Amino acid sequence: MHERRLVAASFDVLGQATGAVDWFRNQGTDPDAILIAAVPPGEKPRAPQRGDNRRTDLRWIVALDLDAAPVAYRQAADTLQREGGALMAELPARLWADVEGPDAPSATEGSANGGR
């Protein structure tokens, strides 16, 4: 199992999060290299669910696997911030596995800055 080098940001508004995702996809990024997680108040991140797009109490995390994306760390970080995200210095433990399932590769432990 490989460890993922991630860059991630937290968004208060879904539209800003999807703006970042759209930009990455327009650069040819494989969907499997992008993680989108919903964060209900007081709970751990989870996969988006039906109806989440209408909820205003959710926070959103967009994470990009730098080893699988055609963009470098700086460009990815700049994009996440330009779209309204706050870069995350650390990710919740097991974020990728909690959202994508137990067989998903894990993130580099505690790192959301691409291993920098």
Closest by Cα among 3, 1, 2, 6 to 111: 6
> Is the residue at 100 inside a domain?
no
Q: Which amino acid is at 32?
A: D
Q: Which domain holds residue 58?
A: 6-90
Distance of alpha carbon 25 from alpha carbon 14, whole angstroms: 16
Residue 112 is predicted with a pLDDT of 54
Number of separate domains in the chain: 1
> Is the residue at 95 inside a domain?
no
3-state secondary structure of 95: helix
Tell how far CA 64 is from the center of its chain: 6
> Is the residue at 77 inside a domain?
yes
Q: CB of 29 within 8 A of CB of 20?
A: no
Distance of alpha carbon 103 from alpha carbon 89, whole angstroms: 25
> Is the residue at 14 inside a domain?
yes
Query: What value does the CA radius of gyration of the chain take, rounded to a whole number of Å?
Result: 13
Residue 95 is predicted with a pLDDT of 77
Per the prediction, the chain carries an average pLDDT of 86
pLDDT in tens, 56-98: 999 999 999 999 999 999 999 999 999 999 999 988 767 777 7
pLDDT in tens, 4-39: 789 999 999 999 999 999 999 999 999 999 999 999
Q: Determine the straight-line distance between the first and last CA of the chain, rounded to whole angstroms.
A: 21
> Is the residue at 104 inside a domain?
no
> Is the residue at 116 inside a domain?
no
> Is the residue at 62 inside a domain?
yes
Q: CB of 106 within 8 A of CB of 94?
A: yes
CATH number at residue 29: 3.30.70
pTM: 0.84
